[in-house]
Amino acid sequence: MQPLSSIGELLNLCSSTTDELGQFNLILTSNLESFSDKELFQLSDLLISILIKLKERGLLENYVRSCFCHNQNIFSSLFILSEFALIDWSLPISIFPVQNLVEFLISSDMKLCKQSLKLLINLASHKEPRFQISAILANLNEEILKSLNPDIEPLLILLLAKLSTTSILNRTSSLIDFANISKYLLDGNQNRKIILESLCYLTFHFEFKIKCLSYIDLILETKKFSYLPTIMKNLVISKEDEWIFHDKRKEITHEETKLIHNTLKNFVLLNDDYDSGPKDEILRIRSLLNSKNSQAALLGLFITANKKNISNFSKIDLIYFLFVMSENREMRIPILQYGGINFLIKGSALKPVIAGHTIARLLIFTNPSSLNYEVLIDSIPLLLKSLENAWHQLTEFEVLLALTNLASFNENIREALLSHGGWEIAFNMINSENVMIQRSSCELISNLVMSEKVINDLLARKKNKNIEALVLLLDSGDIQIISAILGTLANISRFDGLHYIFKENLTQTLEKFLENITDIPVIARILSIISHVPSIYNTKLENHIRSITEPSLQKYTEFIINIHKTY
């Protein structure tokens, strides 16, 4: 067959051939080695679709074995299989003669050497082949690996980085020359991308986190947004943070598989080999990244990446990074200033619970009046969805705190919360076995009850069973729960039509509290209830009120005693 002069000619020939095996042979027998990387990239999508169809027909494995046995078109074979390895997780490495691959690695033919490395790198993107590839490298002793052509060192680092998720971690560490990493980060575009991809894997391990910190400025300066979110996320994630990844994972579609590879989705995130190191050391790393010198660079990365057309998988890693960094209160204001909530709202479909939880952290201690009103409204359904679908009690607790803060703002926010089921969700939370969640849900209810809609429903006796359930919690013995519920009752007591809620047993409870509780806010809320509901006032309550000696409450107690004399 005459050699083809251009990639266009090859694509035209393939389009005129209807049989997949015929198309495969055309590609295999072409002199692909003469094509540039850009031209080969043009061929990639067509080739992958052909390979999938051949595999479905059961023709691929035997053909590959035959191809290697006859030692024909080795470069073309390696290129074809490198592309297939991007999308097929079950491709058995046994179809490649190990000795051949070892020979290719030490070949003087640089193109052949690089292509064989690319094949191993693509296979190493999947968990199963990694141990088998480690066995292949075991056929090369350390001296041979270190003496390979320097031009392939970045690719070799990437392969070893992917294999670092297996048992050869220590060997990997000794083979990688970290002194060269800074050189490659400053190098041409291709080597820099390869090293950044390597760091996406190496930073899963504690010993590499520490080493990579010394390159943090160089890493940030590259502004490679397919890689930076993953690297930054890995640097700050600890073993204790793994719960944030335990959501239900969707099946990944065929169209997404190549994107996954190109955006460095790490498939061993929850692997037992994942080593985050001591928690205090991880906190030290976070502290270094939280320093004022780093904040501008980190958040500059965030805001620039937010504007770029980065992949969904990079956005997910950016969400994880913001979640972890938002633990530090000092980082919350800068994240807000750089549009963090907007980014999280837009990316919430990718990781709704984590995005909602991160927004909650940003809102807990933020004055709602300092934020854009539309952002507050858009945050509400996401926060409530995070609360309903939370798989960790920390999520429930922090989201409830944020909602309580929002509900204190104004009537429109409270109406938005109620329209998205906030009242019902809050009452579901009071049944939690976690007292912190019970407290925060009672505080949220105390703010929501100020809504005109809730008051109207109570006047129509539509929500009275909710209030009865709340009153039962007054026996919990927890002073914060008692205080929040009394706050709710104090708000309700201002409406004459709701005095039906204050029954005799509630009067007895208030008497007991005045007798035994010295907490000033609790006493103040009890006095507020008594001042508005004359039907519960009695001699016993009056005696308790007269015995209150707190100076800040003296005028209030006198007012209550005097006003009830008029009834």
Higher pLDDT, 362 or 65: 362
Give how far Cα 381 sits from Cα of 324, 372, 404, 420, 425, Å: 22, 16, 14, 6, 12
pLDDT given at position 416: 95
pLDDT confidence band for 166 (50 / 70 / 90) = low
Task: Name the range with the highest mean pLDDT among 24-28, 221-225, 278-282, 483-487.
Answer: 483-487
Nearest to 289 by CA among 264, 311, 322, 319: 322
Higher pLDDT, 99 or 192: 192
Residues in the chain: 567
pLDDT given at position 256: 41
pLDDT given at position 362: 94
pLDDT given at position 267: 33
Check pLDDT > 80 for residue 303: no
Check pLDDT > 80 for residue 140: no
pLDDT confidence band for 377 (50 / 70 / 90) = very high
- How many angstroms separate the CA atoms of 255 and 260, rounded? 9
pLDDT given at position 411: 93
Q: What is the pLDDT of residues 264-300, one digit of tens each?
A: 333 333 333 445 566 677 777 777 776 666 666 677 7
Alpha helices in 57-188 (DSSP H): 60-69, 74-87, 98-105, 110-123, 129-138, 142-146, 153-163, 169-175, 181-185
- b/e string for 171-192 if b means 16 or more Cβ within 10 A? bbbebbeeebbeebbeeeeebb
- How many angstroms separate the CA atoms of 230 and 208, rounded? 14
Nearest to 402 by CA among 344, 479, 462: 344
Task: Name the range with the highest mean pLDDT among 344-353, 376-385, 512-521.
Answer: 376-385
Question: Which of the residue ranges 6-20, 66-80, 263-277, 358-372 would you say has the lowest mean pLDDT?
Answer: 263-277
pLDDT given at position 376: 94
- How many angstroms separate the CA atoms of 446 and 489, rounded? 8
**What would the mean pLDDT of 466-483 be, rounded to a whole number?**
89
In the chain, how many H helices and how many E strands? 35, 0
186, 150 contact by CB (below 8 A): no
**What would the mean pLDDT of 416-422 be, rounded to a whole number?**
94
Q: What is the pLDDT of residues 233-262, one digit of tens each?
A: 888 887 677 677 765 434 434 444 444 333
**What would the mean pLDDT of 145-159 be, rounded to a whole number?**
80
Alpha helices in 223-326 (DSSP H): 228-236, 254-262, 279-290, 292-307, 312-325
- How many angstroms separate the CA atoms of 346 and 161, rounded? 32
**What would the mean pLDDT of 103-112 be, rounded to a whole number?**
80
The model's pTM:
0.77
- b/e string for 327-342 if b means 16 or more Cβ within 10 A? eeeebbebbbebbbbb
- How many angstroms separate the CA atoms of 491 and 529, rounded? 8
**What would the mean pLDDT of 453-471 be, rounded to a whole number?**
87
The label of the residue with tokens 């972890």 reads 324
- How many angstroms separate the CA atoms of 149 and 160, rounded? 16
pLDDT confidence band for 263 (50 / 70 / 90) = very low
pLDDT given at position 4: 56
pLDDT confidence band for 356 (50 / 70 / 90) = very high
What mean pLDDT value characterizes the chain?
80
pLDDT given at position 254: 42
Higher pLDDT, 211 or 380: 380
pLDDT given at position 91: 64
- How many angstroms separate the CA atoms of 68 and 78, rounded? 10
- How many angstroms separate the CA atoms of 244 and 376, rounded? 24
pLDDT given at position 224: 80
pLDDT given at position 258: 41
Q: What is the pLDDT of residues 180-238, one digit of tens each?
A: 788 888 876 788 888 888 888 888 877 788 888 878 878 878 778 788 888 888 888 87
Task: Name the range with the highest mean pLDDT among 196-210, 315-329, 442-456.
Answer: 442-456
